[in-house]
Amino acid sequence: MKVGVLGTGSVERRIASKLVELGHGVTMGSRSADNEALREWVEGVGQGASGGTFADAAAAGELVFNCTAGEASLAALEAAGAANLAGKVLVDVSNPLDFSGGMPPTLSICNDDSLGERIQAAFPEAKVVKTLNTVNNQVMTEPGRLPGAHNVFVCGEDEGAKETVTELLVEFGWPRESAIDLGGISAARATEMYLPLWLRLMGALGTADFNVQVRVP
Amino acid sequence: MKVGVLGTGSVERRIASKLVELGHGVTMGSRSADNEALREWVEGVGQGASGGTFADAAAAGELVFNCTAGEASLAALEAAGAANLAGKVLVDVSNPLDFSGGMPPTLSICNDDSLGERIQAAFPEAKVVKTLNTVNNQVMTEPGRLPGAHNVFVCGEDEGAKETVTELLVEFGWPRESAIDLGGISAARATEMYLPLWLRLMGALGTADFNVQVRVP
């Protein structure tokens, strides 16, 4: 599958590299096509990897990942272009973290709204699926690094899009039963509002390399 | 230990009954001392159980549990009286859920503040420890009903108070290593903001009888 990945940070590079490793063709997009991190990634990965603007990446992908920092996500998607996202699955991995007040960050949107919902509202023709925003990038693409079972959450309005994304999660190494469908895109409030607990756990555990397993009787 | 339990709902009754079962003397408090649920609980449990007003319960307890609904907590504690809470461990199990907009509820306080912090600020001489607010009342007092390991979170400003509460959690059946200390009372933001995910999980799983285990490599 052809995949567009928006952004050039550590999350984007890890997801993009994993996708190429799995045989997908990836176009990574940045604000400017001559971004250094972008050029390095494309040259480092070689076959299957290409780079361009946000619009190039969105146009090239049949499915598009938004991994940009939450505060930059809507602008990046605007630059990607509504027409380039229309009808496509848009995987939203972002979190609306606001570091302006210092650590720990607060959320710039929460409680009765979420970044996932804002993105779906701004791009109504895209099929937004929120997932993977509750784990760090190592766990995202290598869930087996943690012992035993643990879970990933999926939400969005389009059932087919959620199925496509779940299949991609299985390719990443997540057992199918580890993906919990939380419902429509408004459930993005729930997974984004988990971030403050995630951050406190990171502090208490001394590592970002963790996840949670949901236990039922 | 003599324990005051504020409120007469299902959470309060379950915690109070467990405390009596463990050999503690419990005074359950209500807005009015002739509350029917209160009288029924006292008569049903018998030895070790007594009832009264919020102030009676707080005065009688060496340690006080606030299990009242979040929207009523500050008023209940006001009725309990700052003098009756001064110097005591105040275990805060409440969540600031706001059902006025329908389901799912939002939080009446979140992001840059929390109910746990408001309570600590309103009663500076009490040693507030937030815990158990991330599980339903069955799991609170019978953690072994879920298979395998799973976690409970503790936060507050006073180290000795957190130790006292952790020992009580161990009495309830929580293995000591299952209690994760998230730091000061501001971490109440994190555990209270987990509630939206808890509620979505309850919907997805079809049960409130669950909890999470934190997995590290």
Cβ neighbors of B98 (< 8 A, separation 6 or more) are B70, B71, B105, B106, B107, B108
Contacts of B185 in chain A (CB under 8 A): none
Percent of chain B with pLDDT over 70: 100
For the full predicted model, state whether its pTM sits above 0.90. yes
Q: Would you tell me which residues 22-51 of chain A have a C-beta closer than 8 angstroms to some C-beta of chain B?
A: none
CB pair distance less than 8 Å for A107 and B111: yes
A207 CA: distance to closest CA in chain B (Å): 8
Q: Which of B100, B111, B180, B209 to mutate to test the interface with A (most CBs of A within 10 A)?
A: B111
What pLDDT is attached to residue B56? Answer: 97
pLDDT < 70: residue spans in chain A: none
Q: What is the mean pLDDT of chain B?
A: 96
Domain A2-205: CATH class, spelled out? alpha beta
Residues 6 or more apart whose CB falls under 8 angstroms from that of A41 comprise A8, A13, A16, A17, A28, A49, A51
Of the partner residues B193, B209, B215, the one whose CB lies closest to the CB of residue A193: B193
The answer to whether B87 faces chain A, any CB pair under 8 Å, is no
Distances (CA, A) of A44 to A38, A137, B78: 10, 19, 63
Does A181 reach chain B within 8 Å, measured CB to CB?
A: yes
Q: Do A210 and B214 touch (CB under 8 A)?
A: yes
What pLDDT does residue A210 have? 98
Q: Which residues of A touch B181 (CB under 8 A)?
A: 204
**What single-letter DSSP state applies at residue A12?**
H
Rounded to two decimals, the ipTM of the complex is: 0.96
pLDDT tens, position by position, B65-122: 999 999 999 999 999 999 999 999 999 999 999 999 988 899 999 999 999 999 999 9
Domain boundaries, chain A: 2-205
CB proximity B99 to A under 8 Å = no
Q: Do the beta carbons of residue A176 and residue A163 sit within 8 Å?
A: no
A183 with B200: Cβ contact below 8 A: yes
**Cα–Cα distance, A21 to B90 (Å, whole number):** 53
Give the position of tokens 């925003």: A133
Q: Is the pLDDT of residue B63 over 90?
A: yes
**Could you read off the pLDDT of B131-174 as tens digits, one per residue?**
999 999 999 999 999 999 999 999 999 999 999 999 999 999 99
Is any Cβ of chain A less than 8 angstroms from the Cβ of B107?
yes
